[in-house]
C-alpha cells in the first residue's frame, strides 16, 4: 500500500514536549518506550496483535512537509529554530515488535521503541492509534470465528465502520483474525484478500417480482448465486422462488456451485431449519444457507446451540466496531533512559492503581510451550540480558496472583522470544507477510491455546510472570521511589 505522511497525526502535547526537549538540549537523549495493553477486550482470554504493517509504513514515511510547518507556525506555539529542526526530521531509532497475528496477553510489550527522546515521543500517538484499533478488531474477529465453530465468517461492516480507514484497515484486521473474506473491495485490492458479497433487497425490489429478480441475478452470476430471500416472505416466497431458480439452472445443465440463500431478518434459527428442509426436499442439500442481521459471537453461539442450519455467517456492525468493547486500551510508557555516561537507567511509573505500575528496564518476552502438546503454558517478561535454559526446572507465577505457581521440569517445555527487530536505524528490516499468510499464522497461534483459554465467557487466563531479575528491579525501584 502506498505510504502516507501522518506526521501531524499526533496529540499537540507530543509536539510541545518535543520542543521542550529541543530547547533544553536533551532531544538526542536515547530512551526506551514500551507499547502494551492492560486488559483483554470483551472479557477475552487473549488478544491478537495487529497493525504492524501500517505502523512500519507510518515510521518509514514520517516527515514534516512545508504545509505542515506552515500550519504549526500559524499556531504561534513553536520557535523558528524548532520548526527548522522539524524540516529535517526523520525517525532514526530501533523498533522491536511482536509479529501480527500473534496471540498476546496484558502487560507484555507489543512494541519496544528505542530512539532519541524527541523522536520516540512524537510517534506515541500514531502507534497507539494504529495498534490499538487493529488489535481490537482482530481480537473481536477471533471471538466470532471461535463461535462459528468452523463455519466461514465474512466481514461486511464497511458502511458502519468509523470512517474509511477504520473500515479498510479494520477489514484487514478481521481477516487476520480469521474471516474468510470481506465485502470491502478496497481492502481486497490493497491487501489481496478475498472479497465476497450477494445482493441487496433493493435488487429484488427493482424488478416486477422476486422470481424475475432471482432469475436475472442467477443469469449474471451463475457461479456465485446467493439469493437474498427475506424481501417479502422468506418461507412462502423467497425460498420457493430460489428453489425454482436452482431447478431452472440445473435443467440447463449448469453445475451448481457457490449457490444458496441468505437470511437477513427474522428468527434465524427457525428460518434456517425450515429452509434447510425445503432445500433438501427439492434436491439441493448442498445449498449454502448464509445469515446476517446484527450478528456477533454471542448470537452466533446461541444460534449454534439452537441447531441453526446456517453454513456461512456475515458479520458487520458488531465486528467492525467491536460493539461491546470499542477501545483496546493500549498505552505507551517510558521504560529506560540514557544517562550522562551512555548507560540505560530503568524508569518506573507508580500509581495508586497497582495495574498502572509499569515494568521498568529494557525487556523481552519469552513464550513457554508444553513440549508434548505445543500448547502455551505461560509467558515470561524478562530483562533484555536474561536467558532461559530449557534443560532446567522453571517456576512460573501468575503476576496477578502470586500464590498460583507452575513448576516446569527441565526438558518438558520449549521457549520462543516474541519481540523481533522490525526497524533498525530508521530503516525497515522486516518484510510483512501477506494478509493470508498472517491469517494462517494466526490460526496456528490460536491453536496453541488450550480450549479453556478460548471460551467466550470466563476464560482461563494464561499466566504472565516477571522474571526474577525484572521482579527484583521493579521491587527495588518501588522501594526507592516510595522513600522520596
Per residue in 27-68, pLDDT (tens digit) is 999 999 999 999 999 999 999 999 999 999 999 999 999 999
| Positions in the chain short of pLDDT 70 | 1-3, 399-400, 484
What is the pTM (predicted TM-score) of this model? Answer: 0.96
From 40, 111, 108, select the one nearest 466 (Cα to Cα).
108
In this prediction, residue 4 carries a pLDDT of 78
Count of Cβ atoms closer than 10 Å to residue 28 Cβ = 14
Beta bridge partners of 357: none
Cell numbers at residue 281, please? 426436499
**CB burial of residue 220 (10 Å; 0-12, 13-18, 19+):** exposed
pLDDT at 1: 43
Q: Cell 533498525 maps to which residue?
A: 424
Q: From the CA atom positions of the chain, what is the Rg in Å? A: 26
Residue 121's contacts (CB-CB under 8 Å, 6 or more residues apart) are 14, 17, 18, 21
Amino acid at each position: 500500500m502506498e505510504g502516507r505522511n501522518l506526521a501531524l497525526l499526533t496529540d499537540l502535547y507530543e509536539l510541545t514536549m518535543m520542543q521542550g526537549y529541543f530547547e533544553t538540549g536533551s532531544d538526542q537523549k536515547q530512551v526506551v518506550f514500551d507499547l502494551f495493553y492492560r486488559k483483554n477486550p470483551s472479557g477475552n482470554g487473549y488478544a491478537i496483535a495487529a497493525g504492524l504493517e501500517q505502523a512500519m509504513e507510518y515510521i518509514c514515511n514520517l516527515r514534516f512537509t512545508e504545509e505542515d510547518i506552515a500550519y504549526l507556525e500559524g499556531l504561534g506555539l513553536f520557535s523558528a529554530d524548532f520548526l527548522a529542526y522539524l524540516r529535517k526530521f526523520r525517525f532514526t531509532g530501533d523498533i522491536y515488535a511482536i509479529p501480527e497475528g500473534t496471540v498476546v496477553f496484558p502487560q507484555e510489550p507489543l512494541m519496544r521503541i528505542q530512539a532519541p527522546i524527541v523522536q520516540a515521543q512524537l510517534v506515541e500517538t500514531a502507534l497507539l492509534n494504529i495498534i490499538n484499533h487493529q488489535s481490537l478488531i482482530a481480537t473481536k474477529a477471533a471471538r466470532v470465528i471461535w463461535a462459528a465453530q468452523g463455519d466461514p465468517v465474512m466481514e461486511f461492516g464497511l458502511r458502519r465502520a468509523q470512517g474509511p480507514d477504520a473500515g479498510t484497515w479494520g477489514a484487514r484486521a478481521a481477516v487476520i483474525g480469521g474471516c474468510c473474506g470481506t465485502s470491502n473491495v478496497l481492502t481486497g485490492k490493497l491487501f489481496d484478500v478475498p472479497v465476497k458479497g450477494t445482493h441487496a433487497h433493493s435488487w429484488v425490489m427493482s424488478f416486477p417480482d422476486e422470481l424475475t429478480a432471482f432469475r436475472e441475478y442467477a443469469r449474471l452470476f451463475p457461479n456465485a448465486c446467493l439469493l437474498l430471500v427475506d424481501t417479502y416472505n422468506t418461507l412462502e416466497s423467497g425460498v420457493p422462488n430460489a428453489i425454482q431458480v436452482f431447478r431452472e439452472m440445473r435443467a440447463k445443465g449448469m453445475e451448481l456451485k457457490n449457490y444458496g440463500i441468505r437470511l437477513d431478518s427474522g428468527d434465524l434459527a427457525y428460518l434456517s431449519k425450515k429452509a434447510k428442509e425445503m432445500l433438501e426436499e427439492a434436491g439441493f442439500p448442498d445449498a449454502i444457507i448464509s445469515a446476517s442481521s446484527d450478528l456477533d459471537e454471542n448470537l452466533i453461539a446461541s444460534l449454534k446451540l439452537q441447531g441453526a442450519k446456517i453454513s456461512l455467517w456475515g458479520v458487520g456492525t458488531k465486528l467492525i466496531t467491536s460493539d461491546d468493547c470499542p477501545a483496546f486500551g493500549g498505552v505507551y510508557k517510558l521504560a529506560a533512559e540514557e544517562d550522562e555516561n551512555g548507560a540505560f537507567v530503568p524508569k518506573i511509573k507508580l500509581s495508586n492503581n497497582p495495574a498502572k505500575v509499569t515494568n521498568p528496564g529494557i525487556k523481552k518476552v519469552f513464550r513457554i510451550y508444553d513440549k508434548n502438546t505445543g500448547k502455551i503454558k505461560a509467558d515470561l517478561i524478562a530483562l533484555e540480558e536474561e536467558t532461559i535454559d530449557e534443560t532446567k526446572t522453571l517456576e512460573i507465577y501468575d503476576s496477578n496472583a502470586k500464590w498460583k505457581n507452575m513448576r516446569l521440569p527441565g526438558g518438558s517445555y520449549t521457549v520462543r522470544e516474541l519481540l523481533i527487530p522490525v526497524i533498525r536505524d530508521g530503516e525497515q528490516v522486516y518484510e510483512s507477510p501477506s494478509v493470508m499468510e498472517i491469517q494462517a499464522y494466526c490460526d496456528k497461534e490460536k491453536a496453541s491455546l488450550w480450549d479453556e483459554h478460548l471460551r467466550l465467557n470466563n476464560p482461563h487466563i494464561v499466566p504472565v510472570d516477571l522474571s526474577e531479575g525484572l521482579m527484583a528491579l521493579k521491587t527495588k525501584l518501588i522501594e526507592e521511589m516510595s522513600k522520596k
